[in-house]
Chains A and B, each alone.
Chain A
Amino acid sequence: MSNAFSLSFLLTGLLASVPVAQVRPAINDAQQIVEEGQRRAATTSERYSGLLQSFNADGKTSEKRWMFERIGSHGKSRTIIRFTEPAEVAGVALLIVNHPERASDQWMWTPALQRDRRIALQDRSARFFGTDFSFEDLEERVAEQYDYTLLAEEPLAGAATWKIGAVPKRTRSSQYSKQTMWIRKDDYVTVRIDSYVKDQVVRRLQSTKILTVQGIPTAHELEMTDLPRGSRTRLALEKVLYNLPLKESDFTVGALRR
């Protein structure tokens, strides 16, 4: 089973889960909780339009809009993000090919130069185009590559949650030494992830405005905060649709140029 969680997955519905109405036996094992959350969020494809807002420490903001499309499921999906606004970046497209066993491959299309380029994702801790997400945050990560520990059960923003610690296994290289996740008990949506470097929280992802789309609870607002920098990036999802009849051929470098 290729259970995974990632920003890319977050963008595609990590925070979604099946309705609570589907009653299952109580789960107390952290690994099982994570896997169940991902199982519930599994879809074959997705499309949404997003509004990305970055706020730096001085309060300066920038906005971009994109159209997001994904085909495939966790760990072996392909994603295309096409920027639509502002005019300076309109037409720029990003193809992300996720692999279960290694870092994703990424290509970028720049219409002004009429050419594609492979993005060298060697420094995975680098920020993703000035946002507060790092390139590593974009990767889909296999659940088995982490050791999970149920740390506590506590309420968060009015909902009961499991507080789970995740430590990358020795085979997994990561900029983060550990992560702490809060997963809602009612719908298995992950509503917060704190990422640590040594013992310091460096990034915090919070998910809000959870609405059900095609039966899948989906966070419509995600906010990543870079705590040392004091900056944050907010992603608002609109017109979310799952399980669309998308074609594999539309998720290639050739298709990126179209």
Chain B
Amino acid sequence: MKRLRMVVLFAITAVFLLAWAFPILWSVLNSFKTDRDALAYPPKLLFEPTLDAYRDVLFGSGSIIPNLVSSMIISVGTTIVTMALAIPAAYALARLRFYGKKFTGFYMLATQMLPPVGIIIPYYMVLRNIGWIDTYQGIILIYLSFSLPFAIWLLVSYFEDIPYEMEEAAYLDGASRMRTLWRIIIPQVRGGIAVTVVFVFLNAWNEFLFAVVLSGNTVRPVTIAMFNFVSVEQTLWAKLAAVSVLAMLPVVILGIVAQKHIVKGLTVGAVKGGGRR
């Protein structure tokens, strides 16, 4: 009886495991097919793998390399600006005493609750007037609306973990506050900064709503360019699969690299918000 139950439970969990892995595995498989194999009915599990689809989407006409570059510029740019603003702010929130600290912390948390569509409508109107639609500065600026609160709150949790003694020792040696922050504190939170960088990059790479509104011929991330492979008339199956895999690759690698921190990265704001009030 007990053994039977174990077998049933095992079967159920196996089904779920497969259900999660399958759509991703299936896209990967299809990306190594010819269009003919991808369109075979019934679907082919065994086939002769080829890199044709990758060659076509990378080096054929309508190459997606510019789109991958575009995604990369947006994500790297967002990460750099976000970290430059977030590291000092997080340190102040975690460590320093000042008026309005509670309010500032709450404000930075509350901004995360705004529906993105409510931000993009006015933003679009303003950018249109100053000619910033389809520019990197325009899109990176609006990405700060979600990356900055997130990065600040994640970093605060790491800054809070450093012992106070480190700073006190530095002050006693006569080091200035800025120097202490730069030389003593920041090296202590290198790990936390790396984790934050991973998540900020990941969120920027995956963003879609802002990109769909603000993209054009210059700024055209790969998530938007994917649409070229699906139209009412036909879907270019193998190529779409290859583009999907290329779009997934960086985030999957980052996700696996940061796997130990993923729960923390996903829940940071909520845990903090609950603890404080």
A and B from one assembly?
no
| B residues neighboring A (CB under 8 Å) | none
